[in-house]
Amino acid sequence: MLKNTTLLYTLFLICFYTPIQSLFICIDIVFRLPFIRFLVLWFGAISASKHAIMSNIAKGHNIGIISDGISGMFIKSEEEEAVLMKNKKGIAKIALQTGAHVVAGYGFGNTSVWDPIFDKYGIMQWLSKKLKMSIILFKGRWFTPIPKRVALYLTMGPLVRNPHSNTIPNPTQKQIDEFHQMILDSIQFTFNQHKYLYGWHNKKLIFV
């Protein structure tokens, strides 16, 4: 299944200041592409660098983050919804460093919009990581890039409050692990609360 093809599958890293402006992160190479650069900037994109994320949180902006990134596009799961986030704890660390809270979201149907086509040897995934951009093929209806007609259902979970009232410039691994688990639990809770409404009665969400 192909995820991250839309921005519906997101985690929103938020802090409660005003004015609240929502931005989303984008890989740096996109800002070098003609026309696309102006398009993503118009939509409120910022660099995916840690510095850019932290500085915009400090300004009071909400930051939308696709949690499993490029690597998540190479995970195929027919029976389960697999999220590459088990050991990716950057969101928890940044939240602790900035004093931000987290709202976990899950987009049902995103993994069914297109079918990914990539090699079984991991070459395309390796290239994607090196180039910091997705090198992947996909097909939709009639084996074309036209997306399949799939219902998309965006859900937002309850606020995951930062357990610490102050910013922690250098959080311990234990603090990061605990907050990261709180985020995972919120994603799991949100998925389980809404999957029946979407028709996924027997489907499970796993973290890899």
pLDDT tens per residue across span 96-138: 999 999 998 898 988 888 888 888 888 888 888 777 777 888 8
* Backbone dihedral angles phi then psi of residue 140, each to the nearest 5 degrees: -120, -130
Averaged pLDDT of the chain: 82
Q: Where are the domains of the chain?
A: 11-207
> Within 10 A of 101 (CB to CB), how many other CB atoms are there?
15
Mean pLDDT of 19-28: 74
Count Cα neighbours of 82 within 13 Å in the Cβ-side half-sphere: 13
Mean pLDDT of 34-53: 85
- Give the model's pLDDT for residue 67: 76
Report pLDDT digits (tens) over 150-200. 999 989 899 999 989 789 999 999 999 999 999 999 999 999 999 999 999
- Give the model's pLDDT for residue 20: 56
> Does 18 have pLDDT greater than 50?
no
> Does 80 have pLDDT greater than 90?
no
Structure tokens, 31: 């800002």
Distance separating alpha carbons of residues 44 and 30, to the nearest angstrom: 13
**Residue with structure tokens 């097909």?**
139
pLDDT interval class at 8 (50, 70, 90)? very low
- This prediction's pTM: 0.81
